[in-house]
Amino acid sequence: MTGAETMLRVEGLDVLGAGATLVRGMELALTAGERVALIGESGCGKSLSALALLGLLPEGLTASGSIRLVGVEHDLVGAGERQMSAIRGRRIAMVFQEPMTALNPTMRIGRQVAEAFRIHGRVRGRRAAQAAAIELLERVRLPEPGRIAGAYPHELSGGQRQRVVLAIALSNRPAVLVCDEPTTALDVTVQAQMLGLITDSVTETNAALLFITHDLAVAATACRRVLVMYGGRVVEAGPVRVVLSRPRHPYTLGLVAASDLEPLASRPGRRTRLTTIAGTVPAFGDRATGCAFRTRCPSASSVCETDPAWSQTGDRGVACWHPVRAASDD
C-alpha cells in the first residue's frame, strides 16, 4: 500500500507482570484506512497488547519496547500520564468488549459524548459540544439522537450502548481505532450491523483499525489483514483470506479447522464432529522459552524448544520451525 501513511508502528512490545512475560516481541504496523484483525484464544495476550497501546495496563503490569503513533513525537511506551491522557481519545481510541458497564449509569448519554469533545478542546462550550454529540449519535445510526442524548444508559439496549461507546471513540477523529471484541457481547442479529458501522466509520475517517476478536468469521468479514496470537506471541500474519484458507502455522490450522468456517453440508461424507486442538492454553507464567505451542503441536520436535524465528515471505509471515506446507502455497 504505497503512499498510505503509517499510523501506528509497534516494535518489540513486551508486557511483563508478576514475574512472567505475558506478551513477547509484538510487531505491528498500521497504515491509514487499513483494517487489521488480531485473533487468538482467551489468554493469548491480545487484550493486553491493546491496553498497552493506550497505556491502560492494569496495576502491576509494565510494557517495554516501542509504540509510535502518527502525530505524536514521543514513544508511547514509558510516556507519563499527562502525555498519555492528551493522546487517548484524541489520536488513538478504544472500544471495549462489555457495553452494559462501559457508561456511567448516573450521567446522561449526551453529556458523556460531549465530554469527549470538550476534554481535548476540539469543541468549546457546553451547548456546542452537546449539539456535536447529537450529530455524532446520528452518525452512528442511533434513532432519535436527541432523545437518546437526554437518556441514561440503563434506558438503552446493549447494541445501542455500544454505538454510543463507538461514537465517543470516534468523536475526535483518531488516527487509530482499537476495538477489543466489540461485538462479542451483542446479540447475533446486532453484531452484523455493528461490524458494518465500525468498518464504515473507519473508512469515512480514514483511520486505521485494530480489531481484536476470537471469532474468525468476524475477522474475515471486517478486516484485510490478520495477526494470529498464541501464548503472548504473534505466530502468523498476512492477508486474512490467504492466512485462513492456507494457514502456515499449525495453530492457525487448528483454529481454522475448529471454527467451522466451511459449512458442514459442503463436505458430504467428511467429519461431522467439531475438531478441537488437543491440550489447553498454558497459564500465564507457565511458559518456558521456546515455542509456546509445542505442547499441543502435532509437528513439534526438539528444535521447537528454541524460540522460532520470524520468517517473512512477501506479505505473509510465520514464526514456526515446521510450518504447514500446502500444494498451492506461494
Partner 1 sequence: MLARVLLRTGVFLAGVFVASIVIFTVLRVLPGDPAQVALGVDATPEGLAQARAEFGTDRPLPTQYLSWAEGLLHGDFGRSYLSRSAIGPQIADRLQVTGWLVASSIVVALLLAVPLATFAAMWHRTGRGALLAGLSQVGVAVPAFIAGVLLVDLFAVRLRWLPSGGWVAPDKDPAGFIRRLILPVLSLGLIQGAVLSRYIRSAVLDVLDQDYLRTARAKGLRPYQAMVRHGLRNVGIPVVTVLGLQVASLLVSGIVVERVFVIPGLGSLLLDSVANRDLLVLQDVVMVLVFAVLTINFLVDVAYAALDPRLRRSS
Minimum separation from the CB atom of position 98 to partner 1 (A): 6
Q: Does 115 bind partner 1 (CB under 8 A)?
A: yes
User: Does residue number 101 form part of the binding site for partner 1 (CB under 8 A)?
Assistant: yes
Position 300 contacts partner 1 (CB under 8 A) = no
Rule CB under 8 A: choose which of 56, 128, 258, 261 binds partner 1.
Answer: 56
CB of 154 to partner 1, least distance (A): 5
Assess 59 for contact with partner 1 (CB under 8 A): yes
Q: Which is nearer to partner 1, 82 or 270 (CB)?
A: 82
> Residue 159 Cβ, how far from partner 1 at the closest point, in Å?
17
Residue from 64, 104, 289, 313 touching partner 1 (CB under 8 A): that is 104
Tell whether residue 211 is a contact of partner 1 (CB under 8 A): no
1-9, 113-121, 136-144, 315-323 -> range binding partner 1 (CB under 8 A): 113-121
Q: How far is the CB of 39 from partner 1 (least distance, A)?
A: 22
Site for partner 1 in 154-193 (CB under 8 A): 154-155, 165, 168-169
Q: Give the range of 82-90, 252-260, 279-287, 312-320 binding partner 1 by CB under 8 A.
A: 82-90
Part in contact with partner 1 (CB under 8 A); list of ranges 116-124, 191-199, 203-211, 268-276: 116-124
**CA-based R_g, the chain, Å:** 21
How far is residue 299's CA from residue 305's CA, in Å, rounded to a whole number? 13
The binding site for partner 1 (CB under 8 A) comprises 54, 56, 59, 81-82, 85-90, 93-94, 96, 98, 101-107, 115-116, 119-120, 152, 154-155, 165, 168-169
